[in-house]
Amino acid sequence: MQLISVNVGLPRAVSFDGQTVSTGIFKAPVSGPVMLRRLNLEGDAQADLRVHGGVDKAVYVYPFEHYAFWAGELRRRDFSHGQFGENFTITGLLEDMVFIGDIFQIGAAQVQVTQPRTPCFKLGIRMGDARFPAHFAAANRTGFYVQVLREGRVEAGNVIELIDRAADSISVRDIFKLRLEGTHAEYAHALKLDALSAAWRMAFQKKLLNKETS
């Protein structure tokens, strides 16, 4: 398990659907150590803090193994690290191997998994295809967000070490499926996961309430 690229970017204005949109999804690799803070990496920022960033989503992590899949699906060979808006491009940790609450050591920092990524229209802007977010979600190759438990410097080449496997948890892949459809018992189980992000907790609470009142 390894961090192969650290990617950052500041918000920029882009044209989309006849409007000017501010987005921080354009990330580019940086060399050397980068300080990871509670809310993001040095040199990185999000445009719309209502739905992006924050403690629960300080860093977005994406497996490099998926690059080959998308290259084949989209018949493209122009990808670079940070292509999917991720801060960390990694190897060796796919969504079915990572569980909500897992804690990892990366460089001098420690991070904890909080939720999968739910793609928004800005991923379509980055990929030059407004339909891509739906394709991305359907493939369930979402990557995941982490919160920062201990600040520290990270850099490409760092080994990623599992410090603590969350007990009785749910994998990133399975909890993304649960966001779409699940049972009363599955939603109740998800709500017991202390590390689950506030946004996903609220979504599951609503689904659980709907199950109870239907």
| Domains, in order of start, for the chain | 2-166 (2.40.33.20)
pLDDT grade, residue 209 (50/70/90)?
confident
What was the pLDDT predicted at 61?
Answer: 98
What was the pLDDT predicted at 48?
Answer: 76
Distance CA 196, CA 214 (A): 25
> In terms of Cα–Cα distance, which of 131, 62, 49 is closest to 90?
62
pLDDT score of 180 more than 70: yes
End-to-end Cα distance, the chain: 44
Handedness of CA 194, 195, 200, 202 (dihedral sign): positive
pLDDT score of 211 more than 90: no
pLDDT score of 214 more than 70: no
pLDDT tens digits, 17-58: 888 989 999 999 999 999 999 999 999 998 877 777 899 999
How would you write 135-200 as a 3-class SS string? HHHHHCCCCEEEEEEECEEECCCCEEEEEECCCCCCEHHHHHHHHHCCCHHHHHHHCCCCCCCHHH
Residue 30 — left, alpha, or beta (φ > 0 → left; ψ -120 to 50 → alpha)?
Answer: beta
What was the pLDDT predicted at 148?
Answer: 98
pTM listed for this prediction: 0.95
What is the CA 20 to chain-centroid distance, rounded? 25
What was the pLDDT predicted at 17?
Answer: 83
What was the pLDDT predicted at 53?
Answer: 83
pLDDT score of 212 more than 80: no
Share the mean pLDDT of the chain: 94
Q: How much is the average pLDDT of 75-100?
A: 97
Q: How much is the average pLDDT of 4-26?
A: 93
Does an H or E element contain 29, and which? strand 28-30
190, 196 Cβ separation under 8 angstroms: yes
pLDDT tens digits, 140-176: 999 999 999 999 999 999 999 999 999 999 999 999 9
What was the pLDDT predicted at 150?
Answer: 98
Q: How much is the average pLDDT of 175-191?
A: 93
What was the pLDDT predicted at 47?
Answer: 81
pLDDT tens digits, 100-139: 999 999 999 999 999 999 999 999 999 999 999 999 999 9
